[in-house]
A and B are shown apart, each in its own frame.
Chain A
Amino acid sequence: MLARAEHAGEARGAGLEIRALHKSYGHFHAVKGIDLTVQPGEFLTFLGPSGSGKTTTLNIIAGFETPTAGEVLFDGRPLVNTPPYRRDIGMVFQNYALFPHLTVEENVAFPLTVRKLSRAAVAEKVAQALGMVQLGHLGARYPAQLSGGQQQRVALARALVFNPRLVLMDEPLGALDKKLRDHMQVELMHLHRSLGVTIIYVTHDQGEALTMSNRIGVFQDGRLVQVDTPDIIYRSPATLFVSDFVGENNHLDGTVEERHAEGCAVRLESGLRIESRSGEVGPGDAVRLTLRPESIAILPAGTVSGEDNRFAGRVVERIYFGDHQRLVVQLQGGVTVMVKASPSLALPPGSPVELGWPAAACHPFRLS
């Protein structure tokens, strides 16, 4: 039980394949054709706003919903006609769904007793699972007597105690405060690494997704718009939606003036000409450029550097965060951009600044 992956000698996690999955409720299409392969032992996150189909997809994998069309393969075996209680998929619910009339120990023992394990085996596995989440001393308590974080760990122990090879998590940290959430994120990552199970994790918190996942699948309007590593999702978002949903952006709207070898040049309505990546746009296209606040550099006045884009501006507003500060800077022509800067820079509102950023930091998306 809970054998470490390295001891088991092979990946304990199951592979999952989703093919052309559709789900509609009457005229409402919650899931509109999802294809996805989850690798054994992977930590994959479904990220998206509420109503984007991520929870529906999760419920189909768990067996609580039947897809309108499509297939789910668990290690190559079709899963759709298996009832949820025979899928051996662990699940952690948003509000934990602990059984209030059972003690912590009885909660964790539940999946083992329904599998009719011997009394001794149940006791041993429960003790081990509670030890894994550092709750061995609270076994006799009732869920209502535990803090939110402790309840979360019980739910985790309960979902893992029967050695599922795939664990689904539906916004499991949503109800915790920020400090505890950060802490639990790290614990979850450690658990995932030591157990080697496959985890599919649903969240609408992009920070959580970026921190924990091997890969992130971004949902929009019932479709998976991009599945990639956190780094690629953040640096090379496939669509404007992904770019905006993950991280912060400055938006600069304009028209593509020319394409050249290194990228393209975009003329903003205010008259500024901005060098950008080429993307999939051509001359004459109306585009929106996204530019992350942290990729804008504040240049020492008067220096001449090789930045692709360099503009003079004036600080309009300064927001102090402790570890960094954000400056709202008005450029020539009235364009404002948000800049993340070192907190030690003394730039009160009104200060003149020079901003610069490379063309590669600008992602052009065609506006339709």
Chain B
Amino acid sequence: MTDTPVAGRSGRDGARSRAVLLAAPLLGLMALAFFAPILWLLAMSVYDPTVARGLPATAEALAGWSGDGNAPAAVYPAFAADLGAAREAGTLLDLARALNTRLPGIRSRVVSAARANIDPAAADEARFAALHKSWVDPATWRAVQASTSPWTGFHLLAALDLRVGADGSIERVPAEQAIFLKVFQRTFLLAAAVTLLTLILAFPVAYFAAQAPRPLATLILALVLLPFWTSMLVRTASWMVLLQKEGAVNQILALFGLGPLSLMYSTSGLLIAMMHIQLPFTFLPIYSVMKNIPTQQLKAAYSLGAPPLTAFRRIYLPQAMPGVAAGCLLTFILSLGYYITPALIGGPQDQVISNSVANYINAELNWHMAAALSVVLLAFTFVLYAAFGRYLAPSSLKAK
């Protein structure tokens, strides 16, 4: 008789493996099309083998160098040989660009050194010094030496406006080169402003819709969700039409003798457009939580002697908080990743971190820097989620 439960269990296992099999296509797609590229991109923030591949001989010549005093003489012939090889292979420009990210300005010097086509046998310090005096500066070779390791924290530090100083310690970059912290700060402030504004708009509407009789509630819901079903690009473009100098908003204002307001390429225009796109995301979680608060709750509070405001504050609001937290977190995190809307409606002063990422990918072709900025944004987002995520659990569930 002992085989009966075993048969039963193997039957259950069979059902479970069939379920996994059914989910396999989606899991496979996620792994291939989602997790793998993201991991690969994130890894690029710390893995950059371009220089190591392009300067194998130079790397070897610099391997033993402590960084004190002048670079070893063997560097010059090795460097000349590497440049010649890179020129032959057609990888010279990639190499020059990679070096340039570590040592701004070196790009043109690398290219001209390669053009000089120095014979490795004749290459020495004097020959390079004649090209440019920086070739005899130990700082140059220290930077080249640092670049020859494929694993580097350089991009991550740069994304935080930090660098490794001459003495090997981490220091802030000079104020005129510091750009990213400011952009990060702007990104988070913009997301916070959008979150707060959508909350102010969504909360009363959600409350009203949750209390309203069914047909009216359905209508309100449809009105709030209607924009939700339109593409974000279309909505952004529509706002451009509305907000521009001769646009609908300014024409209407002109009827009342007001304006014109410069809403395009301004922070206020950007806020209006982003609020419009994010409103449903803030609204829906609040509404769904409010919908589940029985109307009896407020009646009970009144019957126990609480005036309407007290009842709202002490009974209704705490029960609506999980929805408020969920809606705000959703909008905040989505707003951190905005790209199209700031690019099209915001001015140069409104560019957010996604624009920087796009710039590094599309224009600068420096995917490592783009990856590093993404890692920092992701890390900040996780920290915020961890900080606020625990307020999401309603207290009635906490105790369970």
Contacts and interface: CB of A to CB of B under 8 A. Distances in A.
A90 B303 contact: yes
A65 to B, nearest CB: 11
Nearest to A86: B305
Contacts of B301: 85, 99, 110
B388 interface: no
A79 B310 CA distance: 22
B9 interface: no
Contact of A145 (B304, B307, B399): B399
B319 interface: yes
A158 B296 CA distance: 15
A148 interface: no
The dominant DSSP class at the B interface is: helix
B305 A63 contact: no
B307 A99 contact: no
B304 A162 contact: yes
Contact of A97 (B297, B314, B395): B297
A99 to B, nearest CB: 6
A97 B305 contact: no
B305 A162 contact: yes
Nearest to A59: B299
A115 B307 CA distance: 10
Interface in B292-337: 294, 296-297, 299-308, 310-311, 314-315, 318-319
Given A101-B318, A101-B396, A93 B304 contact: no
B301 to A, nearest CB: 7
B377 to A, nearest CB: 34
Contact of A100 (B308, B311, B396): B396
A63 B300 contact: no
B49 interface: no
B313 to A, nearest CB: 11
A261 interface: no
B394 interface: yes
A142 interface: yes
A241 interface: no
Given A86-B305, A110-B314, 9 more contacts: A63-B302, A84-B302, A88-B305, A91-B303, A95-B294, A97-B297, A114-B305, A114-B310, A142-B395
Interface of A: 62-64, 83-91, 93-95, 97, 99-101, 110-111, 114-115, 141-145, 158-159, 162, 168
18 contacts: A62-B303, A63-B303, A83-B307, A84-B299, A85-B303, A85-B304, A85-B308, A88-B305, A91-B299, A95-B294, A97-B296, A97-B299, A99-B297, A101-B396, A110-B306, A114-B304, A159-B303, A162-B304
Interface of B: 294, 296-297, 299-308, 310-311, 314-315, 318-319, 394-396, 399-400
